[in-house]
Amino acid sequence: MIELRSDTFTRPTGGMRAAMATAEVGDDVHGEDPTVRRLEELAADLLGKPSACFMPSGTMANLAALMSHAARGSKVVVGDETDIYVYEAGGASVCAGLVLHPVPTQADGTLALNDLAGAFPEEPEDPQFALPGVLCLENTHNRCGGAVLPVDYLRSVRDLADQHGIPLHMDGARLFNAAVALGVPASQLSWHADSVQFCLSKGLSAPVGSMLVGDRDFIVRARRARKMLGGGMRQAGILAAAGIVALTEMPGRLADDHANARRFAEGISSLPDVELAAPVGTNIVLFRVAGGVTWQQVVRAARDANLAISELGHGRLRAVTHADVGTEDIDNAVEILSDVLDGLRKERRC
């Protein structure tokens, strides 16, 4: 099976497995796991923040961040195509008592400054209005095809958040993909946000975990939120050891994934009835099929032919490149998709 549904399907490297087998451990809930502490120090240093917390998942990391920034009854200003709004099960409302205030997401993954400004009430002293408590961005942007937010744009949103006195949280699940695409350190992107979540278990290939970084007081609050949400882990150094390898060895190879995504996009764009749905910025390819063939038919037929792809809203198909997919796999995937579409068209004519 050529696995292109997501980079969450990456398997830990041999180096990760060796590090996990020999990891020094302790009770992390008590702050006594030395390997977790090393991972947290490394993550904070790479992103230029004072402190970090190891989380079981990106969903929990985002939720803990929102709980730590915003009071119950306040608003989370967020894009209507972001993972926090679409894919995190309404946790901000259910668990944290926060109101999700969606604003339109632009095709490039940005949120227009005018739309963001409109989320702030003209009369904030009026008790009828829920007040914004935190503003969120996503970088790279999943549902916009792995789009990278420009540094100048991040600076503008930072200025807007400062004008209104609220924190800026960045869902940077694939932040290192953004940094590689722009050719800048990850810290240059995280500098504009008060807090950042990034995943170890996507393109960085660790089996489990995400990091939440920010200032020390924020991380103290986030640890309490993590415990409340059931995310306190004990001898978590076994997992953190893989995270250390992920951060020290894997970011440099993300450019290969980006090149493979472009290769796949170029290959399928020449096929009849296939149209790219977004520019390829990093490791995500979004596309549509036409000619009377549905995305459901394509997904099923492709899987039968040993190619796993998925749907990502609005009838778009998604393919995500990662460390377990090489150039030969990409070429084979294009050939499989060509055969699948040809077969489906023939079935339709019959």
CATH number of the domain at 342, please.
3.90.1150.10
**DSSP-based three-state secondary structure for 197:** strand
CB 273 within 8 A of CB 293: yes
Same domain, 209 and 261: no
Same domain, 181 and 32: yes
Domain end position, chosen among 190, 216, 249: 249
Cα–Cα distances in angstroms (integers) from residue 244 to residues 44, 104, 124, 323, in the given order: 12, 37, 44, 17
Q: What is the pTM of this model?
A: 0.96
**Would the pLDDT of 350 be above 80?**
no
Same domain, 185 and 40: yes
Joined tokens for residue 161: 């958040």
Report the pLDDT value the prediction gives residue 169, as an integer from 0 to 100.
98
Number of neighbouring beta carbons within 10 Å of residue 72: 10
CATH classification at residue 23: 3.40.640.10
- What span, in angstroms and rounded, lies between the C-alpha atoms of 211 and 198? 5
Same domain, 231 and 288: no
Domain with 306, as residue range(s), is: 253-349
**Would the pLDDT of 300 be above 80?**
yes
How many CA atoms does the CB half-sphere of 243 hold within 13 Å? 28
Report the pLDDT value the prediction gives residue 347, as an integer from 0 to 100.
83
Same domain, 54 and 139: yes
Tally of structural domains, the chain:
2
Same domain, 228 and 90: yes
- What span, in angstroms and rounded, lies between the C-alpha atoms of 147 and 136? 16
**Would the pLDDT of 348 be above 90?**
no
Find tokens 């009828």 and name the residue. 128
Same domain, 238 and 277: no
317-320 β-sheet, strand order: 274-276, 284-289, 317-320, 310-311
Report the pLDDT value the prediction gives residue 120, as an integer from 0 to 100.
94
Domain end position, chosen among 211, 232, 249: 249
Report the pLDDT value the prediction gives residue 124, as an integer from 0 to 100.
87
Burial of 221 (0-12, 13-18, 19+ CB in 10 A): middle
The type of residue at 294 is T
Same domain, 74 and 216: yes
Report the pLDDT value the prediction gives residue 291, as an integer from 0 to 100.
86
- What span, in angstroms and rounded, lies between the C-alpha atoms of 315 and 269? 17
Query: What's the mean pLDDT in 272-289?
Result: 96
Residues comprising the chain, all counted: 350
Domain end position, chosen among 249, 266, 291: 249
Encode pLDDT of 79-88 as tens digits: 999 999 999 9
- What span, in angstroms and rounded, lies between the C-alpha atoms of 213 and 193? 10
- What span, in angstroms and rounded, lies between the C-alpha atoms of 151 and 190? 10
